[in-house]
């Protein structure tokens, strides 16, 4: 019998995109790696689709395009503004393989297989209960009665940071920094998807919806075309205020139902059955959510746990950011090994890597977006204004209004001054 190891070079907590990428690269670089995941079937349950940006992931897995479970490459991006039954939609088409649609769990499974293939030891169905400290340094983990030691621990536990909370490194989840995502998967069928959304084989559509599909709650809707299903849902920005009002829970199911039955969207999933549904938290305010440092003695924080998610309202970048931060964590540990060992001085490069990365720069650059996403203007007024302009331009039995007058009239009816519109539009463009 081989002896059972109780010490590894690196322990990675959480086999999401961040943890799997870090484990994969470290194992490939020759480190002994323990990857611990509390989930059971490694995502055979949670099959929701999302849009994933490819390039940062290709830096870890150049074989991504060929091997990964990619449902469709996004060739169409749509944005709709909704006011009641009125809808204003813009669409952009591209041929470039920038982002793709997939079931996130299939993609994660693929990443985990890669990590295991490279030699990382995956222990699933096991919850890490504690990250262990000794003399102000992280030395390992505990699960039940079992203690496993390591030179470094990568915390990739996702948005619900119970372990970091327990260490006192982050505060309890602040509702103002997160949103609730609710999703449904509708079995539309491959050929229906292609004919209804006007897509070719392997082509996909990503659709962001703003306006009163969320009935005044900041956030928005999304629709993604998977291979033979459509994922649709809402992201609702939480806030202490909303939760205190207590009306949140009853809202959610009726909101998503309202979205599903909306006359503009309904035909896309005509006759489809709901095959899955569920909810998950997501980061809405990355800067407030982030821990004060990304590297601590013996500990690196990656992915959602590090607050690395870009939410622009029309696009989410969480998966590729998670993978890329996992890569930076692996780079930092390799740097430490090559420079005399996994000391805190050496591990600190990770903090630098993150702060100088495109991810952090992007999050800082777009920090205005969050204020905007939470603003009443974007959520309610502008969709109303735009649909009103359209109404004045198109809904004429005999006489059509000139565009300029349509706008002025709509502004008047909505009580928005042209000056405010211009300054806010400027802020919006600058913010996003």
Partner 1 sequence: MRIVVGMKWVPGTTSVRIDPKTGTLIREGVPSIVNPHDMPAVELSLQLKDKYKGEVIAISMAPPPALKGLEYLIGMGVDRGILVSDRAFAGADTLATSYVIAKTIEKINREIGKVDLVVFGQETIDSSTAHIGAQTASWLNWPYIYYVHDAKFVDSKFVVERVLEDAVEEWEVELPAIIATHMKALKPRPVRLINKIRYKVEKPIMTWTNAELKLDPRCIGLKGSPTIVSKTVNVPEVPRKKIVYTPKSGEDAAKWIIETLMKDDKASKVLMKYLSMEGEVQ
Ligand X SMILES: Cc1cc2nc3c(=O)[nH]c(=O)nc-3n(C[C@H](O)[C@H](O)[C@H](O)COP(=O)(O)OP(=O)(O)OC[C@H]3O[C@@H](n4cnc5c(N)ncnc54)[C@H](O)[C@@H]3O)c2cc1C
Near ligand X by CB under 6 A: residue from 9, 17, 74, 217: 17
- From the number of C-beta atoms within 10 Å of its C-beta (0-12, 13-18, 19+), residue 114 rates as buried
Q: Which residues pair with 83 in a beta bridge?
A: 86
Angle at which helix 17-28 crosses helix 104-117, to 10 degrees, equals 20
Residues 25-84 that bind ligand X (CB under 6 A): 36-39, 50-52
- Cβ distance to ligand X smaller for residue 122 or 309: 309
Q: Where would I find the beta strands (DSSP E) of 104-171?
A: 121-123, 130-134, 137-143, 146-155
Q: Which stretch binds partner 1 (CB under 8 A): 43-51, 190-198, 382-390, 418-426?
A: 43-51
Task: State residue 144 phi and psi, 5-degree precision.
Answer: 55, -130
Does residue 125 contact residue 147 with C-beta atoms inside 8 Å?
no
CB of 41 to partner 1, least distance (A): 5
| 316 is an interface residue for ligand X by CB under 6 A | yes
Of the candidates 54, 82, 114, the one whose C-alpha atom is nearest the C-alpha of residue 209 is 82
* C-alpha dist (Å) from residue 207 to 2, 224, 389: 53, 6, 22
Under the criterion CB under 8 A, does residue 34 sit at the interface with partner 1? yes
CB of 67 to ligand X, least distance (A): 19
User: Is residue 88 at the binding interface for ligand X, with CB under 6 A as the rule?
Assistant: no
CA dist 177 and 161 (Å) reads 13
Choose, by CB under 8 A, the member of 22, 52, 148, 234 that binds partner 1. Answer: 148
Q: 118 contacts which partner out of ligand X, partner 1, none, CB within 5 to 8 A by kind?
A: none
Which residue in the set 98, 121, 167, 173 belongs to the binding site for partner 1 (CB under 8 A)?
A: 121
- Select 156 or 410, whichever has its Cβ closest to ligand X: 156
Which among ligand X, partner 1, none contacts residue 181 (Cβ within 5 to 8 A by kind)? ligand X
Neighbours of 76 (CB within 10 A): 18
DSSP 324: H
Q: Binding of partner 1 at residue 124 (CB under 8 A)?
A: yes
44's contact among partner 1, ligand X, none, with CB below 5 to 8 A by partner kind, is: partner 1
Quick one: which segment of 39-47, 303-311, 395-403, 417-425 binds partner 1 (CB under 8 A)?
A: 39-47
**E-only strand ranges, 292-398:** 295-296, 299-301, 310-311, 316-317
Rounded-to-5 percentages of helix, strand, coil across the chain: 40, 30, 30
Out of 5, 198, 216, 418, point to the residue binding partner 1 (CB under 8 A): 5
Q: Closer to partner 1 by CB, 143 or 374: give it.
A: 143
d(CA 172, CA 406): 49
Residues within the interface to ligand X (CB under 6 A): 13-19, 36-39, 50-52, 104, 127-128, 156-159, 163, 181, 183, 235, 280-282, 303-305, 309, 316-320, 322
Residues within the interface to partner 1 (CB under 8 A): 1-2, 4-6, 34, 36, 40-41, 44-45, 47, 121-126, 143-146, 148, 275
């Amino acid at each position: 019998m081989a002896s059972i190891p109780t010490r590894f070079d690196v322990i990675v907590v959480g086999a999401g995109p961040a943890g799997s990428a870090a484990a994969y690269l470290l194992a490939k670089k020759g480190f002994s790696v323990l990857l611990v995941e509390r989930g059971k079937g490694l995502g055979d349950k949670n099959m929701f689709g999302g849009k994933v940006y490819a390039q940062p992931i290709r830096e870890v897995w150049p074989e991504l395009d060929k091997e990964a479970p990619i449902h469709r490459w996004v060739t169409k991006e749509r944005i709709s503004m909704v006011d009641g039954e009125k809808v204003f939609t813009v669409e952009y088409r591209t041929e470039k393989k920038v982002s793709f649609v997939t079931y996130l769990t299939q993609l994660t499974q693929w990443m985990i297989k890669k990590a295991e293939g490279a030699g990382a030891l995956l222990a699933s169905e096991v919850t890490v209960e504690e990250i262990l400290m000794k003399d102000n340094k992280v030395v390992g983990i505990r699960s039940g009665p079992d203690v496993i030691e390591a030179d470094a621990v990568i915390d990739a536990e996702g948005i619900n940071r119970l372990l970091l909370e327990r260490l006192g490194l982050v505060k309890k989840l602040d509702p103002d920094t997160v949103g609730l995502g609710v999703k449904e998967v509708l079995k539309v069928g491959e050929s229906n998807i292609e004919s209804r959304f006007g897509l070719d084989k392997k082509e996909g559509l990503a659709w962001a919806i703003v306006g009163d599909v969320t009935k005044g709650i900041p956030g928005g809707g999304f629709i993604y075309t998977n291979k033979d299903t459509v994922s649709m849902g809402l992201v609702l920005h939480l806030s202490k205020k909303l939760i205190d009002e207590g009306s949140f829970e009853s809202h959610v199911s009726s909101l998503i139902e309202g979205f599903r039955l909306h006359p503009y969207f309904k035909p896309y999933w005509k006759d489809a059955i709901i095959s899955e549904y569920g909810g998950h938290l997501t980061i809405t305010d990355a800067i407030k959510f982030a821990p004060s440092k990304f590297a601590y003695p013996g500990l690196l924080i990656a992915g959602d746990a590090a607050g690395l998610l870009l939410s622009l309202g029309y696009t989410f970048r969480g998966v590729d950011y998670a993978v890329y931060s996992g890569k930076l964590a692996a780079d930092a540990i390799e740097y430490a090994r090559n420079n005399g060992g996994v000391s805190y001085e050496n591990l600190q490069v990770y903090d630098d890597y993150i702060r100088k990365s495109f991810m952090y720069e992007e999050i800082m650059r777009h920090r205005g977006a969050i204020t905007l996403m939470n603003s009443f203007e974007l959520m309610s007024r502008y969709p109303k204004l735009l649909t009103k302009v359209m109404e004045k331009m198109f809904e004429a039995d005999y006489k059509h209004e000139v565009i300029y007058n349509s706008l002025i009239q709509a502004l008047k009816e909505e009580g928005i001054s042209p000056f405010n519109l211009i300054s806010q539009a400027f802020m919006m463009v600058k913010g996003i």
